[in-house]
């Protein structure tokens, strides 16, 4: 073990450098054609990679069974591709290098763009046209979220918006009106009363933590103050209006009114918070709560659109054979047709992605019987697409979430937001901008 001489070490290091030089001629290990080693087969089995958004495994299996009944020559393999959207994206990244590509994949608002930018997803418009399928019935705003340079790279599936959930019992105890606040300033006035009504160890507001989706939910708060993460590709974290929103968040943290959590919906469901800012997709899980649930629009002072859309769509990888793409398109269309949309949305709480689904008698009756679900649908016209800094810059959402975590914990707001401006701009310039020009 003691035989490592200086000469030996230098020799080994020289060898490593030489080997590196030789290897520099090689590729990345990822197939540049986008086909992957086994991506181009003729299989009649459709491999569907999903994280089962909104605990939808049983619902997805049900819709798959109906699909297989309609198309007996096709089979669908439902693959557990991760516990959240990010893990599905990571698994797909590995598949790009390894070659075993799925036929259909759940792609979130944050993950789809990087794959589209690098030519890893199929142009849905062209494929649907070729297969004689139509995209006209999808809700325009939700379908438009997947547009890049005039082409769409996914179709909407488990689409959500941010909702304002509140504990009606706690609101009543605090003497607050039975509604969501008109602005976050109004909430700030309510917060001490709500905090007192909740009692020790509990909080007026529960938010996702930065490792989850705080960057998504806080976007609506930033918008309500006229700020945001970016305008086009220019970041606006240092904009005084965004700073104002972040300062409000910081103050809530300092006063102990807000708690962040990796599982905010469960914490809220357990009665640990008076208000929860979360996805419509959590609505389906709020069935047996120890308190009466209230659901409202997110605060939008002055009628400004302050609600971000979110959730996930379905994409087809580039590089599959024409036959596999055709089968995948059939499945995509079936999984999101009006009837499947009704089945899926009623089980999970996600928004209907088909305009015609809202007119089906079953959906009309359901929304009448479940007014909380109707709130999400009614809020849809008040939504707006998310800022590029979060959804189109690789790692943008995660980076913003980390900064917001620090702000809640007491970090200086201005310097943290300025840091975000630098970090996100650098990521955009190195990873997105060169490809946009190309």
Partner 1 sequence: MTASSDASSVAPRSGPSAPVGPPPRRSGRPYGEWLLAAGLLLPNLVLLVIFTYRPLVDNFRLSFTDWNIAAPVAHYIGFENYKTWWHDPNSHEVLRNTLIFTVCAVGISMVLGLALAILLDQKLRGRNLVRSAIFAPFVISGAAVGIAFQFVFDPNFGMLRDLFHRIGIQVPDFYQRPGWALVMVTTTYVWKNLGYTFVIYLAALQGRRADLDEAAEIDGASAWRRFHKVLLPQLRPTTFFLSITVLLNSVQVFDIINVETRGGPQGYGTTTLVYQVYRETFVNSKAGYGATIATIMFVILLIITVIQVRVMDRGMHRD
Least distance CB 24 / partner 1 (angstroms) = 5
Task: Identify the sign of the CA torsion 350, 356, 360, 365.
Answer: positive
Residues of span 10-49 touching partner 1 by CB under 8 A: 16, 19-20, 23-24, 26-34
Among 43, 79, 118, 339, binds partner 1 (CB under 8 A): 118
Is 386 a binding residue for partner 1 by CB under 8 A? The answer is no
Instruction: Please say which residue, 181 or 401, places its beta carbon nearer to partner 1.
Output: 401
Instruction: Please say which residue, 192 or 410, places its beta carbon nearer to partner 1.
Output: 410
Least distance CB 321 / partner 1 (angstroms) = 19
Least distance CB 20 / partner 1 (angstroms) = 5
User: Rounded to whole angstroms, how far apart are CA atoms 326 and 156?
Assistant: 18
# binding residues, partner 1 (CB under 8 A):
51
Is 418 a binding residue for partner 1 by CB under 8 A? The answer is no
Residues of span 250-279 touching partner 1 by CB under 8 A: 259-262, 267, 270, 272
Is 394 a binding residue for partner 1 by CB under 8 A? The answer is yes
Least distance CB 13 / partner 1 (angstroms) = 10
Instruction: Please say which residue, 356 or 431, places its beta carbon nearer to partner 1.
Output: 431
Which range touches partner 1 (CB under 8 A), out of 69-77, 124-132, 161-169, 393-401?
393-401
Instruction: Please say which residue, 115 or 350, places its beta carbon nearer to partner 1.
Output: 115
Is 114 a binding residue for partner 1 by CB under 8 A? The answer is yes
Is 417 a binding residue for partner 1 by CB under 8 A? The answer is no
User: Rounded to whole angstroms, how far apart are CA atoms 26 and 46?
Assistant: 33
Contacts to partner 1 by CB under 8 A: 1-2, 4, 16, 19-20, 23-24, 26-34, 86, 90, 93, 96, 114-115, 117-120, 201, 209-211, 259-262, 267, 270, 272, 394-395, 398-399, 402-403, 405-406, 409, 411, 427, 430-431
């Amino acid at each position: 073990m003691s035989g490592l001489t200086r000469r030996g070490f230098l020799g080994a290091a020289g060898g490593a450098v030489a080997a590196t030089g030789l290897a520099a001629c090689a590729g990345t290990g990822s197939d540049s054609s986008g086909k992957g080693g086994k991506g181009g087969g003729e299989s009649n089995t459709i491999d569907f990679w999903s994280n089962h958004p909104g605990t939808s495994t049983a619902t997805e299996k049900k819709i798959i069974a109906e699909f297989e009944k309609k198309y007996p020559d096709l089979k669908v393999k439902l693959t557990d591709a991760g516990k959240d959207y990010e893990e599905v994206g990571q698994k797909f990244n590995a598949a790009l290098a390894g070659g075993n590509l799925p036929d259909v994949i759940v792609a979130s608002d944050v993950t789809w763009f990087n794959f589209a930018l690098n030519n890893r997803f199929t142009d849905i418009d062209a494929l649907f046209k070729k297969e004689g399928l139509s995209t006209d019935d999808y809700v325009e705003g939700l379908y438009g979220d997947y547009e890049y340079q005039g082409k769409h790279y996914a179709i909407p599936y488990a689409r959500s918006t941010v909702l304002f959930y509140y504990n009606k019992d706690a609101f009543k105890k605090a003497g607050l009106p039975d509604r969501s606040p008109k602005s976050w300033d109004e909430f700030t006035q309510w917060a001490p009363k709500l905090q007192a009504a909740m009692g020790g160890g509990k909080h007026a507001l529960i938010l996702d933590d930065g490792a989850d989706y705080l960057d998504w939910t806080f976007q609506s708060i930033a918008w309500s103050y006229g700020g945001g993460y970016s305008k086009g590709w220019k970041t606006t974290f240092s904009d005084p209006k965004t700073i104002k929103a972040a300062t409000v968040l910081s103050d809530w943290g300092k006063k102990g009114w807000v708690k962040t959590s990796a599982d905010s919906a469960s914490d809220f469901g357990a009665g640990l918070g008076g208000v929860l800012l979360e996805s419509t997709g959590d609505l389906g899980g709020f069935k047996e709560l120890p308190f009466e649930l209230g659901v409202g629009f997110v605060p939008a002072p002055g009628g400004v659109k302050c609600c971000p859309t979110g959730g996930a769509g379905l994409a087809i990888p580039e590089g599959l054979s024409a036959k596999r793409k055709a089968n995948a398109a059939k499945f995509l269309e079936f999984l999101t047709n009006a009837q499947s949309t009704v089945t899926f949305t009623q089980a999970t709480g996600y928004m209907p992605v088909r305009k015609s689904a809202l007119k089906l008698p079953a959906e009309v009756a359901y929304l009448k019987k479940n007014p909380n679900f109707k709130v999400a649908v009614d809020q849809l016209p008040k939504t707006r697409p998310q800022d590029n800094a979060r959804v189109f810059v690789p790692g943008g959402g995660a980076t913003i979430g980390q900064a917001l975590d620090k702000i809640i914990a007491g970090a200086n707001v201005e310097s943290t937001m300025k840091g975000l401006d630098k970090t996100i701009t650098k990521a955009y310039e190195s990873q997105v901008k060169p490809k946009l020009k190309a």
